[in-house]
Amino acid sequence: MKKLTVFGVILAIIVLGIYATEAYDTIRLMWGYVDPVVYGVDVAFQRLFEAYPWWWLLCTFGTILCGVLAPVLYFCKSVHSIECAYSAFGLDVLTFVLNATFRQSWATVFSAGSGKTFIFAIIVAFLTLAFAGYLSSRKEYGYHSTESGWRFLGSR
């Protein structure tokens, strides 16, 4: 990965802030279901899986994890920040589509009350895509350098 730029650092801080806030909101949202002090551990997780389907939990936590890791890996100058940023974008879009399809109707998504949520979700997705595109444009020719020791299937 090439050296860090001012634009890249600003974009990474914005993306990190958005996904850190999303992580905080998700934990705060689910704390009422998972409070082990009040309900006990087994009942708390049972309530969590009754309230949220497994695919929603998987996509949401994957989005948050990849969204937080991408800027951190960018600050560490790792080429794997590109995969994390594209994964965060893909999981963000998948979460939105699955939420709109299975958890509520499309009419509710585009209604006046949740229009702000819809616009914010689109802004977050495109900011993540812009960050991933910026990272891809800064990629060097040697995607996996011989010094790093990283090897994937078919790489030399």
pTM over 0.85: no
Give the pLDDT of residue 143: 47
> Between 14 and 34, whose confidence is greater?
14
Q: Is 30 exposed, middle or buried (0-12, 13-18, 19+ CB in 10 A)?
A: middle
Give the pLDDT of residue 29: 76
Among the ranges given (15-24, 30-39, 121-130), the one the predictor scored with the smallest mean pLDDT:
30-39
State pLDDT tens for residues 39-77: 677 777 777 777 778 888 888 899 999 999 999 999 998
Distance, first Cα to last Cα, the chain: 18
State pLDDT tens for residues 104-143: 656 555 555 556 777 788 888 999 999 999 988 877 544 4
Q: What are the boundaries of each domain within the chain?
A: 6-22+53-137
> Between 12 and 43, whose confidence is greater?
12
Is residue 30's pLDDT more than 80?
A: no
State pLDDT tens for residues 89-107: 999 988 888 877 776 656 5
Distances (CA, A) of 71 to 3, 13, 88, 128: 14, 7, 11, 10
Give the pLDDT of residue 49: 76
